[in-house]
Structure 1
């Protein structure tokens, strides 16, 4: 017998927009207004005062405003058609499509800058330092203001880099870390799983390592497991791996200089992707990268112009352009890679996929098929086919997977063996 049901019931919605969708849309429009005003001022001022450099920078600002306009229109269209039934899984991916398009534009800009810079390296042209330097500084100020506006006035940080940040050996790679106060100091218990099998780690602050320390977990089904700890130098680590899911209560027992102590803690399952992996708004990310790329080029140009004027190194200006082109190309590649993967429905988070499989199979069932994809910022969709010998309904597995908050659209098929 086969049972199939959408785990968030048959009346679920298909609105998979990010939590800050409307706020990000408004910020983008404000930056477009800023860039538009600066663009008009530069072009009009250049024509009035005969500065071709000022006109050129104004035209460059127009391409900048055009890229941001693409992001703003994507936000508007996605929210306007969020409930349109023609979009089977909503409009949450529209921002990724806009981000992919912006990344292609960025790649073209990098090629144009690189071509122009190489041309000037072999055929130097006269530089009007008195005009070029103030314009570059003015452009940098506009870009800094744009980044500030796009990031919510400093309240949010959007990372445009296409890499994740590593952790040192003593850092906790899990989102949840428990601080336990002891009579002689404090200790921190966490689950470490940064590219390794999950294990408990204990680090200390203001206290010596205790003479004894054990961690015993109790899962919702009553299963108990005791973990012994091994000294790894600067921290203690459990000798055994921690099976998924990481949702259980834990009893920490230790004996230190003040005597024996017992502490009860609770761990909850969290999404395993790196910070921002499937929560990241790639439409806003693309807008920020456009601004940051322009700012980076402005900084390099300012440095190159000052060195060229001070020492007569005219080759510093095109060299700065080549470096800027390489930086923009790198950011463009990261954006194309990430948004392209989403548009092709690649698995957005291998850790979450692994945790879902282990959660289902921990009860003795078999997950014969699993599809996991991103629906929008912070929203994942999943289709599961489960084979079981127990009389279990799809609701049973919905409850098992309720600890994954990003699963916004879940369909479960159950086959009784």
Structure 2
């Protein structure tokens, strides 16, 4: 006997997320083109390097956008859960991009410390200041749901890291302009690279866990098992599995042993509703068993 929680219609949220990713990706692509144009016009390697970094971020945002679109595809005979898990693969790729770019920036910064190139400071300040506005505005667009949505969280971290990079570039440009300290450019790049790498490793660890069907962050499986075992008529609980289907959607399967022969439908309806309210589990499936032959399966 199985029971499923009737989940809410997430179409409005998916539409909003898709539009946000589209807007953010296009705005950042436009800013990257402007930054690269000024870099070529002024011969500023700093602007060209940051434009390359932003291009990588645009690719990451495009992955998040594509994942949001894929997540809207309906379930089929072959893909019975739909394409929700695309929102778990996107932050993994996003984190790898962040780690790669922060490493490249750190290597370039170390190489430049001894012989920093001459950089026109004023274009760096102006274009980097524009980057702060663009990235903070884009981060505001994708801010919703970042606590439980890895896809949005990846994009949000990307944008906040970019805003920090732009702020550091402004500070470095001002220092080079007023004090003539050319070494500020590689020094600040090294510092920001370390900050970006630290954030990226956290996202990488969590996205890897999600793709390996780990219990989602914020859910204690011991508490879930104890809750199921405490329900009326339950003698034993086994084969409890909890994993993420995609952004904000959590699945559970569990076998519960009940020796009573009646009331299973009401039990399932009540328990499934409380799983959603207490643990944010939107897709629970409960299998009710009875008989002594089921008791020895509690090790799973």
Q: TM-score range by the shorter chain?
A: 0.7 to 0.9
Corresponding position of 1:52: 43
Corresponding position of 1:29: 22
Match of 2:120 among 117, 128, 138: 128
Corresponding position of 1:408: 282
Gaps of 5+ in 2: 293-300
36-45 or 122-131: which moved more?
Answer: 36-45
Match of 1:94 among 86, 91, 95: 86
Counterpart check, 1:149 vs 2:141 = yes
Change (3 A) 1:376 1:19: farther
Find the aligned partners of 2:126 and 2:218 in 1 and give their Cα distance: 49
Change (3 A) 1:122 1:17: farther
Match of 1:328 among 196, 199, 205: 196
Corresponding position of 2:298: none
Find the aligned partners of 1:98 and 1:17 in 2 and give their Cα distance: 19
How many residue pairs are counted as aligned between the two chains?
Answer: 283
Residue deviations 1:183-223, cap 9 Å, x none?
xxxxxxxxxxxxxxxxxxxxxxxxxxxxxxxxxxxxxxxxx
Aligned partners of 2:4 and 2:286 also within 8 Å: no
Aligned partners of 2:84 and 2:245 also within 8 Å: yes
Find the aligned partners of 2:93 and 2:247 in 1 and give their Cα distance: 17
What is the RMSD computed on CA atoms of the aligned residues? Answer: 2.7
Indicate the structure with greater strand content.
1
Q: In the TM superposition, what is the alpha-carbon distance from 1:285 to its structure 2 partner?
A: 1.4
Whose Rg is larger?
1
Residue deviations 1:67-112, cap 9 Å, x none?
2111111111221x23233223332221110111011001001101
Find the aligned partners of 2:175 and 2:38 in 1 and give their Cα distance: 27
Find the aligned partners of 1:350 and 1:302 in 2 and give their Cα distance: 38
Find the aligned partners of 2:217 and 2:55 in 1 and give their Cα distance: 37
Corresponding position of 1:360: 228
Counterpart check, 1:299 vs 2:167 = yes
Find the aligned partners of 1:44 and 1:117 in 2 and give their Cα distance: 22
Find the aligned partners of 2:172 and 2:191 in 1 and give their Cα distance: 11
Task: Output aligned runs, 1:332-343, within 5 Å.
Answer: 332-343=200-211
Find the aligned partners of 1:42 and 1:311 in 2 and give their Cα distance: 24
What is the TM-score normalised by the length of structure 1?
A: 0.61
Aligned partners of 1:18 and 1:281 also within 8 Å: no
Gaps of 5+ in 1: 159-275
